[in-house]
């Protein structure tokens, strides 16, 4: 008994010291540390999954947006023009040793001409430029011409066009070149 209790009978006995914190083994400490790191990684994964989901939604929205166009008013007629896009251009003729009939895939007879309705004729990939579309073509040297997408070709896939020319010499002269194309209507 405390001497204070003997001298002061109303005094309370001293509080016992707090118990020692529970001791954990090294294995338990390592496990706790690993669990904390796993929780951080899980949170990071969830954040990344949310970011991926948002990016997918944004990409889907962008795919459904209409193509950016510039509206042009000319001779009281309003037309829509798409933005300029880079294409690889080559040339072809209506008369060739095999596989050419002189009739475009839209049924136009081009024997003896490279024009239809006053515009040049080009072959296109219809999944890129719709058949019947009028386009502007800007060549590397800066010359421009209007053309109508009236034909297709076996090698014309993606961002490629084939320009109808009068003969093989003109096709060789045209060669392959990078051009800018925009759909007018």
Domain that holds residue 39: 23-65
76 and 165 fall within a common domain? yes
With beta carbons less than 8 A apart as the criterion, state whether 181 and 133 touch: no
pLDDT digits (tens, 9 = 90+) for 5-62: 556 666 677 788 887 777 888 888 899 899 999 999 998 899 889 888 888 888 777 6
The two structure tokens encoding residue 103: 């009739």
pLDDT at 123 (0 to 100): 95
pLDDT at 63 (0 to 100): 66
176 and 104 fall within a common domain? yes
Q: Is the pLDDT of residue 147 over 60?
A: yes
Give the predicted TM-score (pTM) of the model.
0.57
In three-state secondary structure terms, 56 is helix
Provide the CATH number for the domain around residue 126: 2.40.40.10
Structural domain includes residue 56 = yes
pLDDT at 69 (0 to 100): 47
80 and 134 fall within a common domain? yes
pLDDT digits (tens, 9 = 90+) for 55-78: 888 877 766 655 544 444 444 444
The two structure tokens encoding residue 122: 């080009």
**For residue 18, what is the DSSP state?**
P
90 and 150 fall within a common domain? yes
| Residue spans of beta strands (DSSP E) within 12-133 | 69-74, 77-82, 85-92, 115-116, 119-123
pLDDT at 3 (0 to 100): 54
Structural domain includes residue 50 = yes
Between the alpha carbon of residue 69 and those of residues 115, 172, 184, the distances in Å are 26, 34, 9
């Amino acid at each position: 008994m405390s001497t204070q209790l003997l001298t002061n009978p109303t005094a309370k006995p001293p509080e016992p010291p707090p118990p020692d914190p529970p001791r954990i083994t090294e294995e338990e400490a390592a496990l706790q540390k690993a669990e904390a790191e796993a929780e951080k990684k899980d949170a990071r994964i969830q954040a990344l999954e949310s970011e991926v989901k948002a990016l997918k939604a944004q990409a889907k929205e962008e795919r459904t947006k209409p193509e950016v166009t510039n509206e042009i008013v000319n001779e009281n007629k309003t037309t829509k023009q798409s933005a300029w896009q880079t294409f690889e251009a080559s040339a072809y003729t209506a008369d060739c040793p095999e596989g050419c009939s002189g009739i475009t895939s839209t049924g136009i007879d081009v024997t003896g001409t490279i024009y239809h309705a006053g515009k040049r004729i080009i072959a296109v990939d219809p999944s890129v430029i719709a058949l019947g579309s009028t386009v502007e073509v800007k060549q590397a040297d800066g010359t421009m011409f209007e053309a109508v997408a009236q034909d297709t070709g076996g090698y014309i896939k993606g961002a490629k066009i084939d320009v109808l020319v009068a003969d093989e010499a003109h096709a060789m002269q045209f060669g392959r070149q990078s051009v800018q194309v925009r759909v007018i209507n």
